Structure 1
């Protein structure tokens, strides 16, 4: 009984489901000349919502309209969902999309349900692809967090209690922020969904002079540079260790206490890499020989593969652990000396990359989640209940730094499923197979 009471107190009260929420869309937080850092603007006025330049991703993104291509470079906007009374913790979301696709204005990122749990929710646009290269997109995101520090009180938010959360590329970027100077000025907590400091590049993606090119020409050039491999394309652009903004590899920075006092909640999905099969079905037959192009040269492939021999596809399982799960555990381990750290694993349904998003936002929209709708339809009641539990965990963490399960020691992990549970060291032999690799920064050059 005492344990149940403690958990209930940590999670906080269940808010009224119909608490009125005010919504403010299309607020410009900065301006930016092409290939220049953003300039913060003191603006609180909503405007027409925009999508940063990109070709429409017809498979995995949800857009606010039906345009085939977006060309407006003046797109540094954010949206705010806020309870109409009181002062609340703030949750700032950075979307994924390989730093090439996506927008804060996707319907699946509607912040209403999280706001009804007593938080002010902010979703952020940032420059993408070549227009955001050279860590410019990271500077955009940090400018948005600075805007939040300056202005979120006007929407009932507490600037001293900000949680940055992101998925995929959004999580890579927040991880990179942990290796910048004084990240504590930007946020108090972070939630990293399917993304860690390992995916912060060791060096920059190729720099291109974009002067004289139209926005459409920039997008066309970008697609030629990236090529057609969806796995390589997923990591072509991204934050990188430049020595000035991102001062060193993220895990190294965390070990040294650079994120001292920042609470971390980090997790991954069981079958992350199967997501990419919707772009290229051949990925489901990825062989170990093909995987060698992504595998760290410092390790012995056959040796690391041994604990995976019973997996349906050994290479895909190893790639998921290399890029997502094991680096996440390393970040949690490193932070336990300096702050609170919690780990989750998402096992529900197909459990591919992005599959947790419908549950975190409560949208139950499975765009880009192959097999997601079918899994939901088998037991929608259980799925909705898990979504409610996840939203309470995320907002509880934002409020107090406690999501409702123990910290990552001894490798205690929240496994999200129907039903959910707390596991001790799940898939430990597979995790331990990577012990000799430091996961400092991504150094595999995409081809």
Structure 2
């Protein structure tokens, strides 16, 4: 691991600063939008814009990289991110913010594709697994740290927007000044959705549903917090708990995944998540209980993403895994675009409890579908195949994880 950190620290340090900047703006907009008088449904369009841009960036960023190279794409997208971050308080209008969120989602997607392909190229077969594990841990730590910095400055002022802009600008210094050569870029062709559904109906349906859950959690948590009257420190703890849960439970769930029917584990996690969200929707809003539920929800939803990829790969030869996973990630992105919009509608209809109710509906639907699929296909043998993959990872990181030798 020390060898990996020694060779990859500029990239890892830059990614951490990027995640801090991205994590701040995601929560901050939910808070500032409420202060500006935006309705819950209006904020849902703003939050959905990021995931729409991210989905588009995952398709177009490889084209840009092949055309002008990693360094230029990195610098151009980083400049755009930094500029957009300081423009939010200048143009506090719903459709302006939505357009800026689309742009910033596109840019962050391109940055992740660039960083992950760079890290993949800089690693050997022996160190790639450790490098990608370090990359995922750094991502989570950066987002958790961002929630602490959310408390710096008045959310109605400019400082909370200037801070992530500065951090994003600084993030590119260690990367662009590194002596590590930029890699030759290549991507895997996606598997057709028809064939992908034939191979794993559960993988396809599960990715759509978990995309909606993840986007609802991370896009609308700040809006929910302001609606129920939480302060900025409390919102930062609530959102940070969801990411911390994902970091803590990713590896225990992975250990179980390689020793039992993955569908059974998916069912147990989705049922647990449904129960937690139903309780959150019905119980009085006691803050520390809600934080505990956020911790559990994050620990459930983040591993589900990797579990669904591993389950799909159980039915594929090694050479087809990367192409199938690229298709799964695209389906996850489609679900993510719809997640904040549906959450906003549910919160308009049911009030703040709609935030938890929407997540409960999706996880309950996943539970029912898993039960049905378990009656349609034999249990595949339990073999090692789970890899800790975060929902923020691009197809490049997933492909690199799948290409590494199994232990």
Range class of TM-score, shorter chain:
under 0.3
Higher helix share: 2
Of structures 1 and 2, the one scoring higher in RCO (CA 8 A, sep 6+) is 2
Higher strand share: 1
TM-score normalised according to structure 1 size: 0.25
TM-score normalised according to structure 2 size: 0.27
